[in-house]
């Protein structure tokens, strides 16, 4: 089955292909539903994911102007209350003067297809440069060396440099004026910060274009040789890679619970 045309790539789809071409095929080409749970214990991980979705939406509503005291009423679990208090203690955005762009979507052409990203928050100005914020609710704080290799880090910065001109008085944002910050709700004093520069930008975009061309021309999508990843894949039964989910105490399982705003439903305030 060929890749749908036109196809819009995202950091999630590119990461899936890098991790396992077969998973990319099943999820984005064949569009199969999830036949298996990702990791154990199921109920605990489902609850954690739902709380992560709600946390993202609370921040979005707050940044759009809903008073903090009203938003706080919806932090109705131990995790949500802790994350929300950590957020308020860590950030002091002035919604009257700071330029804040929550839940912003950018896209640009990529090797005959398109690349799209939905940002938790972009803030900045033509005078001061721009910062990408991404909120994480991981139970464990990943190493920076791991995060810098993720497609999200590479896609979000490269795409802002190519599609963010409307934030910068109509001029492209040069890479050296871009920074990406992962903020961890359970580790509020340990953000991961990644500055950008022209050499990184060229490397990233060349790699993204090369990958998009290869995927578009790809005739087969074999499963990964890294079989340890299969324990955390919802499609493992399609590849005869087992029926038992992996444990929920490793960083691999945490990454399956990564939240993007495409996944986050509206909540009533």
Mean pLDDT of 224-245: 79
pTM, full prediction: 0.87
The β-bridge relationship of strands 129-136 and 178-184 is: parallel
Those residues with Cβ within 8 angstroms of residue 256's Cβ, 6 or more apart along the chain or in another chain = 38, 39, 232
> Is there a contact between 223 and 242 (Cβ–Cβ < 8 Å)?
no
C-alpha closest to that of 231 among 253, 214, 257: 253
Span 4-8, average pLDDT: 86
In percent, how much of the chain has pLDDT > 70? 86
Residue 248's pLDDT is 47
Q: Do 93 and 100 touch, CB atoms closer than 8 A?
A: yes
What integer is the mean pLDDT of 108-122? 96
268 has a pLDDT exceeding 90? no
Q: Please tell me the predicted confidence (pLDDT) of residue 199.
A: 98
Helix and strand numbers, DSSP H then E, in the chain: 9, 8
| Segment 61-113, tens digit of pLDDT | 999 999 999 999 999 999 999 999 999 999 998 877 789 999 999 999 999 99
Name the β-bridge partners of 134.
Answer: 182
- The residue written with tokens 């946390």 in the block is 55
Share of the chain above pLDDT 90, in %: 71
- Check residue 167 and give its pLDDT: 95
Predicted confidence at residue 239, as pLDDT, reads: 85
Name all domains of the chain by residue range, CATH numbers in brackets.
22-210+226-263 (3.90.320)
Q: Residue 158: helix, strand or coil by DSSP?
A: helix
Q: In sequence order, what are the beta bridge partners of 108?
A: 115
Task: Tokens for 7, please give them.
Answer: 């196809």
Residue whose pair of structure tokens reads 């934030």 in the numeric block: 167
DSSP code for 128: T
To the nearest 5 percent, what fractions of the chain are helix, strand and coil?
A: 45, 20, 35
Distance CA 23, CA 166 (A): 35
CA distance between the termini of the chain: 44
Rg for the chain (alpha carbons), in Å? Answer: 19
In terms of phi and psi (left: phi > 0; alpha: psi -120 to 50; beta: otherwise), the region of 119 is beta
Average pLDDT over residues 43-68: 91
């Amino acid at each position: 089955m060929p890749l749908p045309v036109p196809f819009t790539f995202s950091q999630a789809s590119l990461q899936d292909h890098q991790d396992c071409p077969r998973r990319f095929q099943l999820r984005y080409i064949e569009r199969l539903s999830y036949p298996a749970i990702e990791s154990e214990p199921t109920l605990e991980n489902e609850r954690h994911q739902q709380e992560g979705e709600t946390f993202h939406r609370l921040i979005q509503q707050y940044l759009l102007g809903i008073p903090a005291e009203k938003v706080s009423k919806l932090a109705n679990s131990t995790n949500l209350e802790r994350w929300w208090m950590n957020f308020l203690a860590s950030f002091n955005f002035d919604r009257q003067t700071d330029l804040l762009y929550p839940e912003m979507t950018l896209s640009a052409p990529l090797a005959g297809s398109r690349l799209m990203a939905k940002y938790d928050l972009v803030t900045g100005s033509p005078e001061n440069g721009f910062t990408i914020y991404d909120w994480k609710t991981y139970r464990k704080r990943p190493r920076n060396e791991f995060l810098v290799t993720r497609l999200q880090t590479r896609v979000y910065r490269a795409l802002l440099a190519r599609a963010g001109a409307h934030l910068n008085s109509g001029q492209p944002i040069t890479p050296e004026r871009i920074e990406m910050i992962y903020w961890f709700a359970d580790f509020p004093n340990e953000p991961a910060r990644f500055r950008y520069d022209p050499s990184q930008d060229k490397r990233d975009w060349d790699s993204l274009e090369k990958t998009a061309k290869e995927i578009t021309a790809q005739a087969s999508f074999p499963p990964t040789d890294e079989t340890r990843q299969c324990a955390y894949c919802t499609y493992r039964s399609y590849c005869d890679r087992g029926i038992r989910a992996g444990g929920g105490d490793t960083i691999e399982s945490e990454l399956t619970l990564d939240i993007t705003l495409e996944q986050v439903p509206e909540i009533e305030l």
